[in-house]
Chain A
Amino acid sequence: MNSFFPSIVSRSQSSGLMNFFVPIISIVLTLITGSIIFVLLGFDPVYALYTFFISPISSTYGISELFVKATPLALIAIGLSYCFKNNIYNIGAEGQLTMGAIFGGGIGILFHDTNAFWLLPLMIFAGAIGGALWGLIPAILKTKFNTNEILTSLMLVYVALFILDYLVVGPWKDPFGYSFPKSRPFSESGRMPLLFDGFRVHFGLIITLFLIFVSWFIFSKTIFGFQLKVSGYSPKAARYAGFNQTTLVFFAFAICGAFAGIAGLAEVSGPIGLLYRDISPNYGFTAIIVAFLGRLHPIGIIFASLVIALTYLGAEDAQLFLQIPSAVGFIFQGLVLFYLLGAELLINYKLTYKKLL
């Protein structure tokens, strides 16, 4: 007789091929589970999946919207991979995004009646600084006081959100806004240029692709990328090699914060055009899934950001055409992460059923 509960045994060698297939397997399993959920809700699963995953991108406008959503996800995810490669669990990208929007958006509000070529670059720069500074707080706490960055970075998300809340109902409230909790709109030169007339996809996409390329170069060709990797795999080996781990923690947080800050600024100066309460549908958190689905690799992250962006669009369409709550989108994101982590475990470990006597 075999025991009911399996025990988890380490595999002596994990398959490289399976490593590559993990993201694909988890997406397939997500789709299967999703159809079961749709059936239970009483929908035709084929029609529901079509509405969710095909119809949103069956028009040019839909594809443009896909890129609009994927841009911040990819940018934050590539920033997060600096931290995750170093085994630092920065969960606070949402807060760093918010701070970037506040700093960059603040410049936009200050110069709301100025039209000059330097305004947008200044806003982007301020956004990066805001995000980086917010990211450095958990870095300082971690290196000086040995606090757990998962907790501090997460708590700082809510601090940042409340600061934004305070600003848009308080000092930065639009004087002509009928007391709505929003700021003045930015001037035209404080907005991200649109790439194509009639579509919302904006210059932020170019910035994102550029930063992904730069990050690929850093990860694969520079000693800094190597140091991040070694210190993530084995802090002891990094100490043996003489890499300064405090500096690495600071850099990882600052770069991640800056990227998230630029993503936040790109949102408010791109599609939105002003500051208000809900500038991000949890991009900072969802990007964690994107980073892992893309296996912390720049190319992987590009594809993963498109897949996850689709769940945002699909949720909207599903709400519109099937009257399914848009939270289904989050369910899909959760399922992807669940299967991803599960598959990851099974790559490195196997389940065995011990014989009972």
Chain B
Amino acid sequence: MSDTILNIENITKSFPRVIANKKVTFDIKKNAVHAILGENGAGKSTLVKILYGLLEPDEGNIKLNNKDFKVNSPAEARKQGIGMVFQHFSLFDSLSVKENLILGIDEKMSYSDLENKLENISSRYNLPLDLDAPITALSAGEKQRVEIVRILLQDPQILIMDEPTSVLTPQEVESLFVTLNALVKEGRTILYITHKLEEVISICDTVTIMRSGEIIDTSSTANQTAKTLATKMLGQKLDDLKTNYEHIKDEVNFEVKNISCDFNDPFLTDLKNISFQVRVGEIYGIAGVAGNGQSELMDILTGENINIKSGSITFDNKKIEKYGPQKRRDLSISFVPENRLGHSAVPELSLSENILLSQFPKNNFIKNGIILKNNVDDFANNVINEFKVITPGNDAKASSLSGGNLQKYVIGREISSKPKILIISHPTWGIDAGAEHSIRESLIELSQNGTSIIVISQDLDELIEITHKICVIYDGNLSKPFKTSEIEIEKLGLLMGGKNE
């Protein structure tokens, strides 16, 4: 078959405790966009890392243009014509676009040669770039363009894109698709890694679906719908989640008023005059593309940063903006930051010990400075049972749990203390669909029992699924809130891209 560019045969790769790829076999056609669809942890990343020379397969062969293909490093892979754009950008933030491009290419090239080539690439593929801008000044979409251009400078036959739209606004996604189409027209092949169903249908020609390291199916996207793909990807049907507005009271119990905060640091986003109100029982979503002030805002909401320039936070008629985390917990405010390992949990400690990171007055964990181990263990066992955390026991180290299980445990720990308000950042970031569903379900249930919830998330689908109101953070500014049931995606997309008419 002459129209196949890449044959992948029986690739197996195992890590301690998991088999990431099990006898993976499929072909990729030349001159097409080929999707690899699967949940987090399905083995997509392992497979592309093998193709790009970052990992060595335990078994199996790969053929590129019918010749054996074996590389030990990304540099070799690039030489053979495979380029990759990673989900997390590998750019030097303090250098300019031009400097980053020069650093990224393997062969020697003069500045004038580079500029000629760049001009050519930019106009051909709809990739405008300001060469002298420092990387810090660019949006996520622009950074991705730099990455793509850097790869195109080496003229690859196959371009691997790993979850390319995860940090982009809907408008930036559109423009990326134009670029991808132009690349395919020129005869290149694109391997498109994603877990988003709509993207597969709208721009990919063929789709390979992976689940737990195995290939479930490879087929044309022509007759597929999002539903058929989802069933294959998940292997089971999940119930639809429902939010309703009836239980929300009119009473506001958490109010942020005109919070401003300057960091004087090019890597942090200053917060500008942020105000919002959360009512009892309401789930309030804060959307936005990464790096627009979410983590800075989170630190202020949790009390980990109390050095604000101006503004106030009121909870239950108390001014709390100068309270540290423990004082806020004493008022029954609980929080779950984005990062599980080393922030909301300590990986080196046991599950029981991790309970002690978040103590509420009624927990009864400590008496005269001495830990009441029985109470802590009971609480831990309770969380493990109630939230169906898969673990050998409460003495297992937090690091031994999968991301989804640990997140269920951490969120369970907070919910079990029956907080009046839960502030949570990226609740289902990087975890499997099963855990994701159960976490979203428990958040909705919590709100129905009268707890207010603030959810900061980049995942727009998640916010639309569980929240009652959504606002958008862009460059440290917060938009006005919209009722989730009446929201227009288009409008949110514009706000996420900083366009407010």
Determine if B337 is an interface residue (Cβ-Cβ < 8 Å): yes
A241 pairs with B369, CB closer than 8 A? no
A240 pairs with B370, CB closer than 8 A? no
Determine if B16 is an interface residue (Cβ-Cβ < 8 Å): yes
Given known contacts A13-B16, A226-B353, A241-B358, A234 and B369 CB-to-CB distance under 8 angstroms? no
Q: How far is the CA of A224 from the CA of B342 in the complex (A)?
A: 19
Q: How far is the CA of A13 from the CA of B345 in the complex (A)?
A: 18
Chain B interfacial residues counted at CB < 8 A: 34
A242 pairs with B329, CB closer than 8 A? yes
Q: How far is the CA of A233 from the CA of B354 in the complex (A)?
A: 12
Q: List 19 A-B contacts (CB under 8 A).
A: A12-B17, A221-B371, A222-B369, A223-B356, A223-B366, A226-B371, A229-B349, A233-B347, A233-B349, A234-B342, A240-B302, A241-B326, A241-B356, A241-B359, A242-B303, A242-B324, A242-B327, A242-B329, A357-B72
Task: Specify which chain B residues have a CB less than 8 angstroms from the CB of A223 in the assembled complex.
Answer: 356, 366, 369-371
A239 pairs with B325, CB closer than 8 A? yes
Q: Contact partner of B346 among A12, A230, A242, CB < 8 A? A: A230
8 A Cβ contacts from B370-427 to A? 370-371, 400
Task: Specify which chain A residues have a CB less than 8 angstroms from the CB of B302 in the assembled complex.
Answer: 240
Given known contacts A12-B16, A237-B342, A240-B337, A230 and B349 CB-to-CB distance under 8 angstroms? yes
B72 pairs with A224, CB closer than 8 A? no
Given known contacts A221-B370, A233-B348, A242 and B343 CB-to-CB distance under 8 angstroms? no
8 A Cβ contacts from B11-42 to A? 15-17
User: Which of A222, A229, A242 neighbours the largest number of chain B CB atoms within 10 Å of its CB?
Assistant: A242
User: Which of A226, A236, A240, A354 neighbours the largest number of chain B CB atoms within 10 Å of its CB?
Assistant: A240
B325 pairs with A237, CB closer than 8 A? no
Task: Specify which chain B residues have a CB less than 8 angstroms from the CB of A144 in the assembled complex.
Answer: none
Determine if B137 is an interface residue (Cβ-Cβ < 8 Å): no
Task: Specify which chain B residues have a CB less than 8 angstroms from the CB of A357 in the assembled complex.
Answer: 72, 76
Question: What is the CB-to-nearest-CB distance from B265 to chain A, in angstroms, rounded to a whole number?
Answer: 16
Question: What is the CB-to-nearest-CB distance from B126 to chain A, in angstroms, rounded to a whole number?
Answer: 38
B356 pairs with A226, CB closer than 8 A? yes
8 A Cβ contacts from B235-293 to A? none
B346 pairs with A233, CB closer than 8 A? yes
Q: How far is the CA of A237 from the CA of B410 in the complex (A)?
A: 12
Name the CB-closest residue of B to A220.
B371
Q: How far is the CA of A234 from the CA of B344 in the complex (A)?
A: 10
Name the CB-closest residue of A to B71.
A357
Name the CB-closest residue of B to A235.
B342
A355 pairs with B337, CB closer than 8 A? no
Given known contacts A12-B16, A230-B349, A233-B349, A240 and B369 CB-to-CB distance under 8 angstroms? no
Q: How far is the CA of A236 from the CA of B327 in the complex (A)?
A: 17
Question: What is the CB-to-nearest-CB distance from B323 to chain A, in angstroms, rounded to a whole number?
Answer: 10
Given known contacts A223-B356, A355-B72, A236 and B371 CB-to-CB distance under 8 angstroms? no
Task: Specify which chain A residues have a CB less than 8 angstroms from the CB of B335 in the assembled complex.
Answer: 240
B371 pairs with A234, CB closer than 8 A? no
Name the CB-closest residue of B to A227.
B356
Determine if B115 is an interface residue (Cβ-Cβ < 8 Å): no
